Amino acid sequence: MKLRLNMSQRILAFLFRLPHQAYVSKILKTVVAILKRKFIPANIGFSHISRTKLMEEHMRPFYSRVLGLPQTSFVAILDGTYLYIQVVYMN
C-alpha cells in the first residue's frame, strides 16, 4: 500500500489501527530485512540457480541448432527497449 498507493505512514497507521506511525517504519524495515535475507538470494542474481537447472528448465535445443552452437551452450536474449541512453552531441 505504501508503494502502490503512495499513502503516508500516518494513514497506514490509521488503517491498520497501529498506535503510532513509527510502527509503520519498524514494520517496513523488518520487511526489507526479511526480503534481503530470504527472497533476494533465492530469486535474484546469478547464484540463485545452477547452470544445470538453467539448461534443463529454460534452454531449448532449437536455439543452439539455429545458431550452430554446441548443446551445452547457453543462449541469452537481452532486450534493451526500456533502457534510457543519453546521447550528447558535441559540435
The pLDDT value recorded for residue 49 is: 84
Helices and strands in the chain: count of H runs, count of E runs: 6, 0
CA–centroid distance for 62 within its chain: 28
Summarised one tens digit per residue, pLDDT across range 22-46 is 999 999 999 999 999 999 888 887 7
The pLDDT value recorded for residue 34 is: 94
- To the question of pTM greater than 0.85 for the whole model, the response is no
Mark the ranges of the chain whose per-residue pLDDT is less than 70. Answer: 91
Query: Could you tell me if residue 44 is left (phi over 0), alpha (psi between -120 and 50 degrees) or otherwise beta?
Result: beta
Portion of the chain with pLDDT greater than 90, in percent: 26
Cβ–Cβ < 8 Å for 21, 10: yes
In the chain, where the domains are located: 2-48
Residue type, 61: P
The pLDDT value recorded for residue 91 is: 66
